[in-house]
Amino acid sequence: MISKQKIIDRFTSYVTVDTESDPESNTTPSTEKQWNLANALVEELKEIGMEDVSIDENAYIMATLPSNLDREVPVIGFISHFDTSPDFTGAHVKPQLIEKYDGNDIILNKEQNIVLSPKEFDDLLMYKGQTLVTTDGTTLLGADDKAGIAEIISAMEYLIDHPEIKHGKIRVGFTPDEEIGRGAHKFDVKKFGADWAYTMDGSQVGELEYENFNAAGAVVTIQGKIVHPGYAKGKMINSMYLATEFINSLPRMETPEHTEDREGFFHLNSIEGTVDSTKLQYIIRDHDKTHFEARKEVMRKLAEELNSQYDKELFGVEIKDQYFNMREKIEPVMHIVDIAEAAMKMAGIKPLIKPIRGGTDGSQLSYMGLPCPNIFAGGHNFHGRYEYVPVESMQKAIEVIVNIAQLTAKKDV
C-alpha cells in the first residue's frame, strides 16, 4: 500500500490550508479560501494520472479512473468534502505527530496546559503503538474530512500504479461546504454518472453507516421591550429572561450530551441577546421521521403557548428542514452496503454498522438519486482542539477503497 510517510505528508499538506466554511455566507463555496485547497487538489489529481479532472464555478471537483476491464461493471464513486467546521477555528493548523503512542496523556500545548487524555477520550487506548496526528491544542485538525480526501487520492494513486488490480470505472468527487449542510446542494449527480458512491467521512476504523438523522434548523426569536431601567416597572420586557423560559421548557434530557444511538435531541448551539431582542439557534435531530416531525411541532406549540400566556406575540419560530435519513434510499440497494462490509473484512476489519449521529453529503445525495453509504475516515473528536487521526486507520481506509473497487469489478451491470 501507499507508504505511511506519504500518507502523513499528503494529509498534513491539506490540513495546513484553512478551508473553514461560513454559514452566514450566500456564496458557493461559502468562503473564498476554500478555493486554495480545491485548486491544489485538481492539480494533484492530474499529477497522479486521473482523467476527466474538472472543477466547476462552485468548486465541485470530479475526476475519473477509467476501467481496466474488458466488460461492463457498475460505475462507483468516492466522495469527501474539503471544508472544515466553523464551530472551531481551522486557521494556522499545526499538526503534531505522535509515533508509537504509549497510552498516556498527550501534551498538545504545554503553554496553555491543553492535554489529550485517555481518561477523557478512552478511544485513544485502541491505538496504542500506532502513529497519531493531533492538533497543537489551539485549532481543530481537519481530519473531517481531509483524511477522507487523502485516502481517496491515495487509493486512486495505488490503483493507477498497480494496473494488475482489476476495477471498473471509478468516479471521485470533492465538495465544499458540507459542514454547513450545503455540500451536496450543487453536486451534479448526472454529470458524476455513478451507479452508487461512498462518502469517506466517518470516524472510528470499521464504521459503516447507512442511517443518519433527519435534521432541521430552528431559529427562535424573542421580542422584548427596552426602557430606561430606572423607570422600567410594568414597562420593560427583558427578552433574555423570556429566552431562558423557552429553553427550560424543552425536555432537558433530550440534548446531545444526554442521548446516544438513535435517540434524537434538541440542541441549542447559539444565543444572541439584548433586553430588546434575543435569537436562539437550535438544531433538531431524530432518526425516526415521526419523532422528528413531533419535535418540530413541540417547538412551534411551545411558542404558541408562551405567546398565549403573555397575551402578546413575543415568540417566533422558523424551522427549515436540512436533510433526511438516507436509510429508505439505501435499503432497496443493500448490496452496496454488503460490498463495503465484505471489503472491510478483506482488510481484517470488523465492520461497525451503526446509525450516524449527524449527517453527511451522502444523505442528501441519496435523495438526489445517488445511493451513498458512509465509510470511516479514521478521525476522532471532530470539530475541536482534541481531534486526532491514527495513520494506520487511514491506511486501512485506503485498503477498503481498493477492496471495494475489486469486489465491484466482479459484479455485472
CA distance 184 to 118: 35
Cα–Cα distance list, 176 to 16, 79, 136, 146 (Å)? 17, 11, 25, 11
Residue with cell 465541485: 60
Helix (H) or strand (E) holding 314: none
**Cβ-Cβ contacts under 8 Å for 3 (sequence gap 6 or more):** none
Cα dihedral across residues 342, 347, 371, 410: positive or negative: negative
Active site residues: 83, 178
Q: How far apart are the first and last CA of the chain?
A: 29
Find residue 270's DSSP bridge partners.
281
Cα 57 to Cα 178, 187, 220, 225: the distances in Å are 17, 11, 34, 46
Pairing between β-strand 352-353 and β-strand 196-202 as defined by DSSP bridges: unpaired
Q: Whose CA is closest to 65, among 40, 38, 81, 46?
A: 46
